Amino acid sequence: MSEATDVVAFKVEDGIAWVKFNRPEKRNCMSPTLNRRMMEVLDELEFRDDVGVLVLSGEGTAWSAGMDLKEYFRETEALGLKGVRKSQSESYGWFRRLRRYQKPTIAMVNGWCFGGGFGPLFACDLAISADEAKYGLSEINWGILPGGGVTKVVVDLLPMRDAMWLTLTGELIDGKQAAAMRLVNESVPLEKLEERTREVANILLEKNPVALKYAKDAVRRVGDMSYDDAEEYLVRMQEAANSFDNEGRKEGIRQFIDEKSYKPGLGAYKK
């Protein structure tokens, strides 16, 4: 990868930022160093004009083997509460940053995804898995509950029985099972993973970027609102989006109503 050769690698190509967990020898588990670096990389990419979509994947056989049990847990606990809180804020910080990212994001899950890895998995807007990937809430296997938001992630994404199954058994599921459970959008053979992810990214790249940002935020936020609150919120958000992007949506309406050059039901207007 061209722009960094450290614990987070990235390159930008044809509108897509390909970001990788890059500790393959440690199965891309998340150390404090990796968490700090990821925040820097997200900062660097978020408002670049040449980035329309961010894809998060892992180098080697893992997407991410969760939190680094040595550097994230044991070594920070040795520093006392101050150390623990610092490392928590660093990891939760970039997960939160990703959940609210300016550009749409896709988790391209190429391999192992454990425990804390469910944080960034959920933070990405869409998720495409390799059939060969393996997912597990292994926390129970070493005696903790799925913290760092992970229990919330599975309860939000999955039916209660599936969330409880993963949480209590620590059993692995593969990509196809993850897609059947709707933990990810879809699952394809590993050799097709990048190609399929690029196709999905290209669908997003055709859309109005302001509308994408407001729409993804709306999907994440209205779930906890009453119908009336959501209706009000969506009216206000559309008005806020309009103030950014008067021309884009007017152009979309023009091409459909006046020019009759496309149908919004079947694809995006020409930017």
Indicate the burial class of 44 (C-beta count within 10 angstroms; 0-12, 13-18, 19 or more): middle
User: Closest by alpha carbon to 167, among 185, 141, 191?
Assistant: 141
Torsion of CA 210, 248, 185, 226, to 10 degrees: 60
Strand order in the sheet with 16-21: 8-13, 16-21, 53-58, 105-109, 126-130, 186-188
The two most distant CA atoms of the chain are separated, in Å, by: 67
Residue closer to ligand ACO by CB (options 135, 214) is: 135
Q: Which residues ranging from 35 to 64 are in contact with ligand ACO (CB under 6 A)?
A: 61-62
Q: Which residues ranging from 194 to 213 are in contact with ligand ACO (CB under 6 A)?
A: none
At 104, phi and psi to the nearest 5?
-65, 150
Our finding on whether 116 is near ligand ACO (CB under 6 A) is: yes
- Indicate which single residue of 45, 54, 68, 123 sits in contact with ligand ACO (rule: CB under 6 A): 68
Residue closer to ligand ACO by CB (options 70, 263) is: 70
Query: Which among 68-76, 205-213, 223-231, 235-243 is the span making contact with ligand ACO, rule CB under 6 A?
Result: 68-76
Residue closer to ligand ACO by CB (options 68, 245) is: 68
Residue 55, H or E segment: strand 53-58
- Indicate which single residue of 9, 16, 19, 29 sits in contact with ligand ACO (rule: CB under 6 A): 29
Which pairing describes strands 16-21 and 8-13: parallel, antiparallel, or unpaired? Answer: antiparallel
Residue closer to ligand ACO by CB (options 112, 214) is: 112
Residue closer to ligand ACO by CB (options 23, 198) is: 23
- Indicate which single residue of 11, 48, 70, 86 sits in contact with ligand ACO (rule: CB under 6 A): 70
- Indicate which single residue of 32, 58, 66, 209 sits in contact with ligand ACO (rule: CB under 6 A): 66
- Quickly list DSSP for 110-166: -SEEEGGGHHHHHHSSEEEEETT-EEE-THHHHT---TTTHHHHHHHHS-HHHHHHH
Our finding on whether 74 is near ligand ACO (CB under 6 A) is: no
Q: 67 with 30: CB under 8 angstroms?
A: yes
Q: Which residues ranging from 122 to 161 are in contact with ligand ACO (CB under 6 A)?
A: 138-139
Query: Which pair of structure tokens corresponds to residue 243?
Result: 């103030």
Residue closer to ligand ACO by CB (options 102, 138) is: 138
- Indicate which single residue of 9, 12, 27, 76 sits in contact with ligand ACO (rule: CB under 6 A): 27
Our finding on whether 87 is near ligand ACO (CB under 6 A) is: no
Question: If binding means CB under 6 A, how many residues of this protein chain bind ligand ACO?
Answer: 17
**Residue ranges binding ligand ACO (CB under 6 A):** 26-27, 29, 61-62, 65-70, 112, 114-116, 138-139
